[in-house]
Structure 1
């Protein structure tokens, strides 16, 4: 039997693929967007808008609740900076793994980190979830995060990096480990930092 918890902990990229494969074989993969065959590659969602697919009818109550909660998290709570509502989807003691390999513990620290994204790109937003997979207490969601570097960015050394005015649009994926109360105990964030920095003019 696949130990998904161990897989998530030790191999993030493999985990996303394995979770997607497990969900497909288990019948819980989401329906393809209108006009696309499941076997036809999508265009790059970061540059070509891809419709959000409907939720599969084969989801369990728990799986549907978790995916709907994640949509609400990204499309409303995150995009509109409603930080007092983050506890609807995040446990107080949540551990969050970031693309550069570091992790943080606790919802307060996570809110602080999310606010930092908006400090230099106030229009940061997520409007697309073009792939949504659920398997029991696990979700894997791929989407597009966009924003514009219009405000000074803290450089981590006490100084600031002046804004470049450059826009970014990057593919990202989030793997969530959900508890029975309907919130995430652990969250794994994935995007290509090199592409991210190139787009905002810092690489």
Structure 2
């Protein structure tokens, strides 16, 4: 049997694929659901209204975790309702970022999320094209969109002037949930190079 926690911590491009394979082999049957309900689609970030897929046969706990995640992205993140982040994240949440570093604690995670809105105040997520849930694990893909319309802090006391360019990026989040219905650990996957290219910085 696959040690899912060890697999997630090791990172790498195969993580989500292995998680999906685990889900299918253990009964989630995501592949069957995909072929039954729709044809395969291309790049969700390039599709204005990507179809949103819910796997069948979810337990009550699995559905609640996915519904909480929808609320997190569509309402809390997109509306910058940071006082509500505790509805989906534990106070001691560990968040793993695409560049390999991680942070601990809800307060730091709020600061990191809010930093994006400094330079892209219209950032939002309103699509979750794929969802997988199995026990305490969820894997959700999304599309984050926005515009580089305000000066971006460069980390050296200065600013990068806005280009006015829009971005539309595929992302994925893998969450480890506890019995209180919040995530203890979150793994974020996004192509930072693609973001830099889209907003004119690469």
TM-score w.r.t. length of structure 1: 0.93
**Aligned equivalents of 1:75 and 1:128: distance in 2?**
8
**Aligned equivalents of 2:150 and 2:36: distance in 1?**
38
Helix, strand or coil: the match of 2:167?
strand
Tell me if 1:10 matches 2:26. Answer: no
Q: Partner of 2:27 in structure 1?
A: 27
**Aligned equivalents of 1:69 and 1:118: distance in 2?**
22
1:17 is displaced (CA, Å) by 0.9
Query: How many residue pairs get matched?
Result: 199
Contact kept? 1:145, 1:172, Cα under 8 Å: yes
Q: Partner of 1:172 in structure 2?
A: 171
Contact kept? 2:175, 2:183, Cα under 8 Å: yes
Contact kept? 2:55, 2:131, Cα under 8 Å: no
**Aligned equivalents of 2:75 and 2:12: distance in 1?**
26
Q: Partner of 2:52 in structure 1?
A: 52
Contact kept? 2:55, 2:132, Cα under 8 Å: no
Q: Partner of 1:100 in structure 2?
A: 99
1:32 is displaced (CA, Å) by 3.4
1:34 is displaced (CA, Å) by 8.7
**Aligned equivalents of 2:18 and 2:46: distance in 1?**
26
**Aligned equivalents of 1:135 and 1:14: distance in 2?**
18
**Aligned equivalents of 1:33 and 1:155: distance in 2?**
45
Unaligned runs of 5+ in 1: none
Cα deviation 1:64-111 (Å, max 9, x = unaligned): 111111011001100001100000000000011111111110000000
RMSD: 1.5
